[in-house]
Structure 1
Amino acid sequence: MQIIEVVILLLTFLVLLSLRVPIAYSIGLAAMTTLLVSIPSIPAFTTLAQRIATGLDSFTLLAIPFFILAGQLMNQGGIASRLIEFAKALVGPLPGGLAFVNIVACILFGAISGSAAAAASAIGGFMGPKMEEEGYDKAFGVAVNITSASTGLIIPPSNVLIVYSLASGGISIGALFLAGYIPGILVGLALMIAAAFMAHKKKYPVGARVNLSDGVKKFFSAIPSLLLLFIVIGGIVAGIFTATEASAIAVLYTLLLSMIVYKEVKVKDLPKILLETVGTTSIVMLLIGTSIGMSWVMSYESIPQNVSNLLLTISDSKIAILLIINVILLLVGIFMDITPAVLIFTPVFLPVVQKIGIDPIHFGIIMVLNLCIGLCTPPVGSLLFVGCGVAKIKIQKVIRPLLPLFLAMILILMLITYFPPLTMWLPKVFEF
């Protein structure tokens, strides 16, 4: 690896980002500029185009558009409102109850849809006005919504875990899905504790108690939505179908649920839903393609091997190396979206952690949780923009109430990092 290639790669990428060039183009142009330093232009253009096309030629990646479509159907099919009512019955009467409802609803919706942005939009659009009506500060409600929506990327089905499986060379998606449950739930609980302290300090109101019959009714209303989790994950764990096949089944199930059971999606709505799915899928796939291209360029320039050697010369302690990687990934998450970050940095850091005896499944959850925190941070945090956009509030006003919630997420990150059984227990139980 020549220092000049690393400097060109980083400098080109950062300059393009600072000029507000879309991140997919920034990644692709940075990779191409770096490659042009090493080989002539025609082979450089041909090779990078070939790597992008080859990287997207994957059966595993078919799961992503299907899960995106399932998320779109859920977003418009009345599933969010039923999950919110169910969450109200569960945690509404607690101190700061509506904040708890927001968190639980985001966890459930994010887990079912596999989309953090969909959870932030659907739950935030419904819960934001409700929390304001009850006397909650608007910025507090938005901060809770943004951070809790990120749990949908840890709790399966998760598109990001599918991307990590691809970047890591084919780690079992089923094992990654199982490994995400306990960390995702712990993040949700930590956010609830932080929100409870903030609600107590601000003296926010306690939600009204729900009588037993009403609670049972709301539970049964939400059962069809909750069943999707058992169908998708249960089918993968039992070996009935693959993650890609599970994504297609998720689309079929949510279509039937939205159109026949809840009757909130009509045939005339389908073209719009499909177009939105195609638009989102196109953005995601372009990001994946250019990120795979950059990952290959980095490998060609021997960057991962040199980073591995550098980290191992700094220390051979698991604690120190994992701390360094966590800090780097937290910084990366501030400036880069989660999908390209996973594709680019998995080949860089995975060889390092494997040399010190860290399981790739455990590291996958560490990486995704790190980058989920980045989704909530300025200047590139996509969830921050979605949450603030839905609530129509300036980002600056949300930063202060976000800080205690960030602290809660980082504490869970440290716990997950240094206590592997929290991620590895379920995969071992189901022999993945």
Structure 2
Amino acid sequence: MNVTAILILMITFFALIFLGFHISYSMMASAAVTILYLGLSPTQVVNTMVDGIDGFTFLAIPFFILSGDIMAHGGISDRLILLADALIGWMRGGLAMVNILASIFFGGISGSATADTASLGAILIPMMHKQGYDKEFSTAVTMSSSVQGILIPPSHNMIIYAMAAGGISVSALFMAGIVPGVLLGVVLMIFSYYLSVKRNYPKGTPFSLSGLWTALKKSIWGLGTVLIVVVGVVFGIFTATESAAIACVYALIVSMCVYREMNFKELIQVVKSSLKTLATVLVLISASGPFGFCITYLKIPEMVVNAMLGLTDSKFLLLLLINLIILVLGTILGMASIIVIVTPILMPVLLSIGFSPIQFGAVLILNCGIGLLTPPVGGVLFIGSGISGVPIERLFKHTVPFLLMMLLVLLMITYIPAITLTLPGLLGLL
């Protein structure tokens, strides 16, 4: 065990982060310094960076990002809200329920919590405030429900995890995220209904079959993206990469030719935005190549396994400890960063206690999603604050009860394997 090399890797990595360098550059630089110290060829850095993104499955990431951005700016948000309102808007606190259900629909299109908050929040937060809901409550509901989007397929973070975990089935991961995503929505709905009754928030318009039919006709084209991804992957019609490409073309046709709410000039801006997101993601994945090589070469995963199993042999306590570690990391690092760093380190621990990598994918994604709502780097928290005008400190205080509900769901999917594994098992994906 080369303790000096491990210290060089970790100290350099964290020092650069605290100095304000982007995590991608921190990983590349710390790995390069460590590789030079070990006397290995400097070309190892470049080779592992290229290998890190050299995979057919990774082609799905740019297509999913672009299709989500196109649909988010192509008129789909309004139509999803109309459909959700027609389904459950009649309840006490109806707009809160609409917000959560619309996020489930939107998650099946964008797979992004930030896009969900920005798109639906810009419409629903002012609408809820106008109808008598507190701004803090409206924003907290919008932010917490957006996390469903990273669980429900398509989710490019699931693809990143699949590669970081050694190339496990993307289709199985997609299916494993559906039930936890819906479960999270149900728990948030129950809690929101309780608060709505307690605070006497208004009811919506009475339920109408004709209204539901009208809303369904308007939104059906947008929901077609979900069918392409889920049905195509489940029944083996497409691979995840092929379904992403088809969904991208479909989203373009719907937004520009069917809904006609996006012109060529707007499309160029959407593509630019998608490219910025893609560049950040791919540089991060590429940088994880040499960093992961150093972790493996120095046998850090084996050290972590021995250390954690030395603390306790209780599977319950080990899973609790792993979740706590990820929750802490979620307050200071972004989702993709956590995935590429912790997955290769923790995977041997999980395998040693018989924990399914597919189940851990859902656990990790939800855990990281909770981090999006926590300061100081919670991206969704900042977007929600920007839309509503509520200061970060006050908004986070009102978000804490929703975070507790999300933690409840996190514990459920951690300790009840059937929640994540039943659906992919029934479909023969395990």
TM-score tier after normalising by the smaller chain length: over 0.9
Q: Aligned to 2:268, which of 267, 271, 276?
A: 271
Q: 1:124 to 1:299 in 2, by over 3 A?
A: same
Q: Does 1:348 align with 2:340?
A: no
Q: Aligned to 2:218, which of 214, 218, 221?
A: 221
The aligned length equals: 429
Q: Does 1:319 align with 2:313?
A: no
Task: Assess if the C-alpha contact under 8 Å between 2:381 and 2:396 holds in 1.
Answer: no
Provide structure 1 residue ranges, at least 5 long, that are not aligned to the other structure.
none
Q: Does 1:39 align with 2:39?
A: yes
Q: Does 1:368 align with 2:370?
A: no
**Whole-angstrom distance in 2 between the partners of 1:271 and 1:237:** 32
The one-character-per-residue Cα deviations of 1:338-374 (angstroms, maximum 9, x if unpaired) are 1121111111111111111111111111111111111
- Report the AA paired with residue 144 of structure 1: V
Q: Aligned to 1:197, which of 190, 194, 199?
A: 194
Of residues 246-255 and 354-363 in structure 1, the stretch that sits farther from structure 2 once superposed is 354-363
Q: 1:32-431 residue pairs with structure 2 within 5 A?
A: 32-39=32-39, 43-44=41-42, 46-431=43-428
Of residues 186-195 and 62-71 in structure 1, the stretch that sits farther from structure 2 once superposed is 186-195
**Whole-angstrom distance in 2 between the partners of 1:36 and 1:389:** 45
Shift of 1:4: 4.0
Task: Assess if the C-alpha contact under 8 Å between 2:93 and 2:193 holds in 1.
Answer: yes
**Whole-angstrom distance in 2 between the partners of 1:239 and 1:65:** 21
Q: 1:136 to 1:21 in 2, by over 3 A?
A: farther
Task: Assess if the C-alpha contact under 8 Å between 1:110 and 1:118 holds in 2.
Answer: no
Task: Assess if the C-alpha contact under 8 Å between 1:168 and 1:347 holds in 2.
Answer: yes
SS in 2 for 1:136: coil
Q: Does 1:22 align with 2:11?
A: no
Task: Assess if the C-alpha contact under 8 Å between 1:292 and 1:343 holds in 2.
Answer: no
Shift of 1:22: 2.5
Q: 1:338 to 1:215 in 2, by over 3 A?
A: same
Of residues 158-167 and 274-283 in structure 1, the stretch that sits farther from structure 2 once superposed is 274-283
Per the normalisation by structure 2, the TM-score is: 0.95
- Report the AA paired with residue 196 of structure 2: A
**Whole-angstrom distance in 2 between the partners of 1:336 and 1:154:** 19
**Whole-angstrom distance in 2 between the partners of 1:52 and 1:273:** 28
Two-structure CA RMSD over aligned residues (Å): 1.7
**Whole-angstrom distance in 2 between the partners of 1:10 and 1:143:** 36
**Whole-angstrom distance in 2 between the partners of 1:378 and 1:122:** 21
- Report the AA paired with residue 56 of structure 1: I
**Whole-angstrom distance in 1 between the partners of 2:15 and 2:174:** 36
Shift of 1:206: 2.1
The one-character-per-residue Cα deviations of 1:60-106 (angstroms, maximum 9, x if unpaired) are 11101001110111111100110011111122121222111111111
Task: Assess if the C-alpha contact under 8 Å between 1:292 and 1:344 holds in 2.
Answer: no
Shift of 1:36: 4.2
**Whole-angstrom distance in 1 between the partners of 2:196 and 2:393:** 20
Of residues 66-75 and 376-385 in structure 1, the stretch that sits farther from structure 2 once superposed is 376-385
**Whole-angstrom distance in 2 between the partners of 1:297 and 1:203:** 57
**Whole-angstrom distance in 2 between the partners of 1:327 and 1:191:** 22
The one-character-per-residue Cα deviations of 1:400-426 (angstroms, maximum 9, x if unpaired) are 111111111111111111110111111
Task: Assess if the C-alpha contact under 8 Å between 2:49 and 2:289 holds in 1.
Answer: yes
Provide structure 2 residue ranges, at least 5 long, that are not aligned to the other structure.
none
**Whole-angstrom distance in 2 between the partners of 1:183 and 1:67:** 21
Shift of 1:297: 1.7
**Whole-angstrom distance in 2 between the partners of 1:9 and 1:141:** 44
**Whole-angstrom distance in 2 between the partners of 1:306 and 1:138:** 48
- Report the AA paired with residue 125 of structure 2: G
SS in 2 for 1:291: helix
The one-character-per-residue Cα deviations of 1:307-347 (angstroms, maximum 9, x if unpaired) are 01111222222212111111111111111111121111111
Task: Assess if the C-alpha contact under 8 Å between 1:147 and 1:405 holds in 2.
Answer: yes
- Report the AA paired with residue 301 of structure 2: P
